[in-house]
Amino acid sequence: IVASTRIRTTFDIAWTCLSVVLLCTWAVLHLNVPAETVKVNIRRKIYLFGRSVWWWLVALFAPELIASGCTVKFLAARHVNIMMQGWAAEDGVTWALPHAFFATMGGFAIEFEEGLIKVEQLGTTEATGGRQLVEARKRGIISRLPQVTEAEIEDRSKADAVTKFLALVQTTWFVTELVLRTVTRLPISQIEIHTAAMVACSTVAYAANWHRPQNIMTRVKLRADRLPNAEDIREIASQGGNPQWLRRSPTSISNDNIHDCGIAFSDRLRSTKLNEVLPMHMTGVSFGLVFAAVHFAAWGFEFPTPQEQLGWRVACFVLLATPIPVSLMMLHAEYLTKRHFATRLLAVVESNVVILLEVIYVFARLFILAEVVRTLFYLPAGAYTATALWNVPHL
């Protein structure tokens, strides 16, 4: 390990990358409004903390999934915003993209005289709750949209401005540093390339979440103008998106005046449209390819052994080649099986192939991570040369 105050050290390189990754992955988390099932204060705090840590770990090890999810949520919110404009004009209320985001993240709940029906309990996913609100307004379960201003939504949002500011500053510095090292032909480490791939995904997620509230803990309650019947419940639940996102057991409405209207998973599966599944697959594949492509920048870097360099190249090809066939086979099974053209044997074969490819993909990712750490201790001498930007304040 090199240690010198006149050049950047091994610790400097590692800490710079680690700080960028930690800040970026935490700042992009804009989670849904939490469920109200946990009432005890301590248990609720533990639940909320655990939920945040879980999604932070997902962002840490699979940033392309977070980027894909955030993009899908943005597209869903934009679609809901367009659908709501007519009703908003008729009701004389303000409705903009932040309102649509607030709706899709479970920010509204319909309250009845004898109970409460949360939008999410009707089968929603984080990206489609707004469509259920549209359906409730369309069917007259609520007679008008709520008068909630953007300022009120922002007031409910508890965005961590300090963390976001630090993430923005550190990321900007990091990207500029990489550009400067490239221009001056100074060696770049593998860990910096891996960090750049994560920054690319985090930047997309951050942009997609620009208007999405953060850390909202409570919902806006909407008073229902009438009780929903079984058909209403089924139709609202059918707006809950595709079952790839939600595989929970059927729920019923806890109200004595309504029959058990749970929506079976098979019904949700049959109601899923290809155009609802396709955006998720397309964005997932796209960001998976971007994440893989960035790692090709280390193709000609120095490695501890020739075998490890070859392993890195093979792993990069695996990361690049796997997402497309996996997505196509999943779409094939999703589209054909529901139309009874695919046999059970074909479905089983495709499922096993998908699992095999996913296992290979995971091992390739693990190899990349291992090499990112290992090569940090075998960097060429030029990698320790600091640029002029190193004297600019940063974490």
The stretch 57-71 carries a mean pLDDT of: 91
Residues 165-180, mean pLDDT to the nearest whole number: 91
CB 212 within 8 A of CB 34: no
* Mean pLDDT estimate for the chain: 80
Do the beta carbons of residue 182 and residue 124 sit within 8 Å?
no
Residue 85 near residue 95, CB atoms below 8 Å: yes
Query: Residue 367 domain-assigned?
Result: yes
Residue 6 located in a structural domain:
no
- State CA 321 to chain mean position distance: 22
- Which residue's structure tokens are 């640029």? 387
- Whether 2 is in a domain gets the answer no
Q: How far apart are CA 368 and CA 348, in angstroms?
A: 30
Report CA dihedral (144, 146, 150, 156) to the nearest 10 degrees.
Answer: -160
Q: How confident is the model at residue 298 (pLDDT cuts 50, 70, 90)?
A: very high
Identify the pLDDT of residue 221. 83
Model pLDDT, residue 275: 64
Cα distance between residue 39 and residue 47, in whole Å:
11
Closest CA to 180 of 394, 393, 390, 395: 390
pLDDT of residue 228: 75
Q: Which domain holds residue 34?
A: 19-384
Task: Report the C-alpha gap between 219 and 109 in whole angstroms.
Answer: 6
The pLDDT, as a whole number, for residue 2 is: 46
pLDDT value of position 124? 38
- pLDDT band at 304, cuts 50/70/90? very high
**Pair type for strands 220-223 and 115-118:** unpaired
Residue 259: the pLDDT is: 31
pLDDT, one tens digit per residue, over 187-216 is 999 999 999 999 999 999 999 998 898 888
Closest by Cα among 68, 9, 95 to 290: 68
Torsions phi, psi for 109 (to 5 deg):
-135, 140
Q: What is the mean pLDDT of residues 101-129?
A: 62
Highest-pLDDT range among 33-37, 138-142, 372-376: 372-376
CB 303 within 8 Å of CB 312: yes
The per-residue pLDDT for 162 is 81
**Amino acid 338: pLDDT:** 54
pLDDT band at residue 287, thresholds of 50, 70 and 90? very high
What pLDDT score does 38 carry? 54
Q: Is the dihedral of CA 321, 66, 274, 76 positive or negative?
A: negative
How confident is the model at residue 227, as a pLDDT? 78
In a domain, 390, yes or no: no
- Residue-level pLDDT at 280: 81
- Residue 216 maps to a domain: yes
For the chain, give the number of residues.
Answer: 395
**DSSP for residue 118:** E
Residue 356 pLDDT class (50, 70, 90 cuts): very high
Strands 108-112 and 115-118: antiparallel
| More confident call, 239 vs 40 | 239
The structure's pTM equals 0.81
As a whole number of angstroms, the distance between CA 355 and CA 184 comes to 44
Q: Find the mean pLDDT for residues 27-50.
A: 78
Give the count of alpha carbons within 13 A of 21, CB side only: 21
Q: What percent of the chain has pLDDT over 90?
A: 38
- Torsion sign, CA atoms 18, 20, 23, 24: negative
Residue 39 confidence class, pLDDT cut points 50, 70, 90? low
- In this prediction, residue 276 carries a pLDDT of 67
Number of domains in the chain: 1
321 and 296 Cβ atoms separated by less than 8 Å: no
Query: Is residue 260 a part of any domain in this protein?
Result: yes
Amino acid (one-letter) located at 71: T
29/196 Cα distance (integer angstroms): 19
| pLDDT value for 193 | 96
Question: How far is 318 from 321, CA to CA, in rounded Å?
Answer: 5
Whether residue 270 is predicted with pLDDT greater than 60 in this model: the reply is no
Q: How far apart are the first and last CA of the chain?
A: 21
Q: Is the pLDDT of residue 250 over 60?
A: no
Q: What was the pLDDT predicted at 114?
A: 55
Does any domain span residue 9? no
Banded pLDDT at 269 (limits 50, 70, 90): very low
Check whether 302 has a pLDDT greater than 90. yes
Do residues 323 and 285 touch, judged by C-beta distance below 8 A?
A: yes
**Residue at 319 is within a domain:** yes
Note the pLDDT of residue 329: 84
Q: Which of 40-54, 220-234, 257-271 has the lowest mean pLDDT?
A: 257-271
